[in-house]
Amino acid sequence: MVQQDQDRVLQDTERVEGRTALRNNVDAAIALADAVRSTMGPKGLDKLLLGDDGSYLVTNDGVTVLESAKVEHATAKMLISTSRAQDDEVRDGTTSTVVLTAELLINALELVDRGVHPTIIARGYRMCGPVVEQTLDDISILADEATSLSSVKTSLAGKGDSSLQNKLAELAFAAASVTGSGEPEHTRVMTERSGSIKDSELIPGIVLMKARVHREMNLKPQAGRILILDGGMEKRKPEIEASLKITHTGAIEAFHARERADLQARVKCLSAANIDCLVARDGIEEEAHAMLAAAGILAYRRVERPEIEHLCRATGARPVFDVEDIRDEDVGHFASIREEKWQGVEHTIFVGSQSQGVTVVIRGSTSMRLEEAERAFNDAIGVACQLIREPRLLPGGGATQIALARRLRRHAETIPGREQMAIEGFAAALEAIPRILATNAGLDPIDELLRVTAAQAESDSAWQGLDVNTGQTGDMRKASIVEPISVTRHAIAGATEAAISVLRIDDVLWAKQDAQEPDWQTDED
C-alpha cells in the first residue's frame, strides 16, 4: 500500500535510481573532462568557441571553455561551478580540477561495480586528505624571486607563444611585487590595440582614459591631496516637483546668481580643505570649471565606480557624498598626476601614495590577441599574488601527482578495510594528470608514467618529473617547472569534494509537468 501511494505521488516525475543514476552522472563528468583534457599542459591544444551571434574565440583556458559551453546536465553544472571556484580562488588549475574529478568518479564507479558501497568510497577518499596535506608540505620548497617568476611562467604554459608568456609573467610578477598585498584586484588591466605584446608595460599608478575638465587647470607633478566625490558637483535641484512664477525681469538673473554662489561656496569648501585634485563619479557643472581652475584645483568627472575603487586603494582616499562634509580622514594623497596621449586619446596617470595601485597596459595588434593576453595575464597575476600570500612551491611536470600517488599507495597498505581500495583509486586518479601531459605532448603516457615513478624511487626525490618540452625526465627545480602549493592543494580538495557530492546522489528526479498558473480564487467565487 505504501509503494502504491509513493508511485501515485511520483506519477508525474521521471526517476532514475541507484547505479544507473551514478553511471549517468559519471558519464556527464567524463564528457565535461573530455572537452578540456586536450588543453592541459604546455603542449595542450586550443579550442574554437562559436557563439550564436557568429562570434568566435580561440582559447585553451579551461574555465573559459567550460563557461562558454551550453550545459544542461545538473552534474556537469556542478563540476563547472567547482572549476569556477578554483579560478576565483587561485586563478589556475581549473582543467586539473575537472579532470581529477572525472577520474575519481570513474574509479569510484568501478569499485561500485565490484560491490563497494559509495559511502565507503567517500570515506576512503576523505581519508586521503591528511596524507595529501602532509605530503605537499614535505615536498614543497620556499619560493625566492627566481623560482616565483618561474612558477608564474609555468602557469602560462600553452597560452600563446613564448614571447607572450615571458612578457606577461614578468609584468604579473612585477605588479604583485609592487603592491605586495596578494590581491589581484589591486592591479588594473588596460588593453591598447597598438604595437605588439613586447610593448606592454607596468605603470606604477592608476591610468584613467580621462582628460581634465578644463585645459587651464594645471597638472600636479608634485605630491598633493585628492578628494573622491561619490556624486557630482552640479546645480542643486529641488527635492519635490515645483513651478516658479516670475513676477519681475530680475528674478531669473537673481536665481542664476544664487546657483553660481552655491557652486562658489562648494569650491571654497574644497579650497579650505586644501584639495589639489577632485575626482567625481558624476558630472561637474560647466560654470564650476573656471572656479576650480582659479582655485588651483585639478578636476575629473564621470569616473566609473571600478576606477574610483582603484583610485581609493592607490591614494588612501574614501569617497564622500558632499564636498561640504569633508573630513581629513576622507582625503587621500597622490605623488603626482600627469597626462599622456595614446593613439590620440588623453589618458591621466595618478601615482598614488599607498603602493597598492598599479596599471598594466597590454598592447597588441588584434582584438583576439588582446583578449587572449588579458585572460592569460589574469591567470598570471592570480598565481603571482598566491605566492605573495603563501610563498611555497611544488614540482610541476606531473611530479607532485606521482609523488602523492606513491605515498597514498603506501598508506593504503595500513588500512584494513575496503577503504583501502578507495585510497588506491584516489592514487590512480592523481596519475591521470601526468598521463594527460604526456599524451598532449605526443608521448606514450604509460611509458612516461613508469619512467617518472622509477626516477623518483631511484633518486628518493619527489622533484623528478616529466619535461614535455624535451621529452626527458629530470629535476623540475633545475628545469624551472614549478607551481604554487595553493593551486595544487585547492584543486585536489575541490575535486575530492565534488566527486564525493556526486557519489552521494543515488536518486535523480525530473518533474515532467511544466509550471502551471495558480488557480486564484476571486471574491465572486
Selection from 231, 210, 227 nearest residue 321 by Cα:
231
Contact 301, 289 (CB under 8 A): no
CA distances from 403 to 151, 359, 399 (A): 19, 39, 6
The CA-CA-CA angle for residues 470, 474, 480, to 5°, reads 80
Give yes or no: 379 in active site. Answer: yes
Give yes or no: 199 in active site. Answer: no
- What backbone torsions phi and psi does residue 309 show, to the nearest 5 degrees? -60, -40
Of the residues 95, 154, 315, 473, which is catalytic? Answer: 95
Of the residues 87, 92, 379, 467, which is catalytic? Answer: 379
Contact 200, 171 (CB under 8 A): yes
- What backbone torsions phi and psi does residue 520 show, to the nearest 5 degrees? -70, 140
Of the residues 39, 61, 154, 453, which is catalytic? Answer: 61
What does the block give as the cell for 391? 610563498
Contact 375, 58 (CB under 8 A): no
The upper half-sphere exposure of residue 47, i.e. CA atoms within 13 Å in the direction of its Cβ, equals 21
Residue-level length of the chain: 525
Of the residues 64, 94, 315, 359, which is catalytic? Answer: 94
What does the block give as the cell for 225? 591631496
What does the block give as the cell for 336? 603626482
Give yes or no: 94 in active site. Answer: yes
Specify the DSSP element, H or E, that contains 57: strand 56-59
Distance CA 33, CA 320 (A): 49
CA distances from 491 to 26, 95, 262 (A): 19, 9, 59
Give yes or no: 64 in active site. Answer: no
Distance CA 273, CA 422 (A): 68
Tell me, letter by letter, the H, E, C secondary structure of 349-380.
Answer: EEEECCCCCEEEEEECCCHHHHHHHHHHHHHH
Distance CA 222, CA 208 (A): 19
What does the block give as the cell for 285? 557643472
Contact 86, 404 (CB under 8 A): no
What are the catalytic residues? 61, 94-95, 379
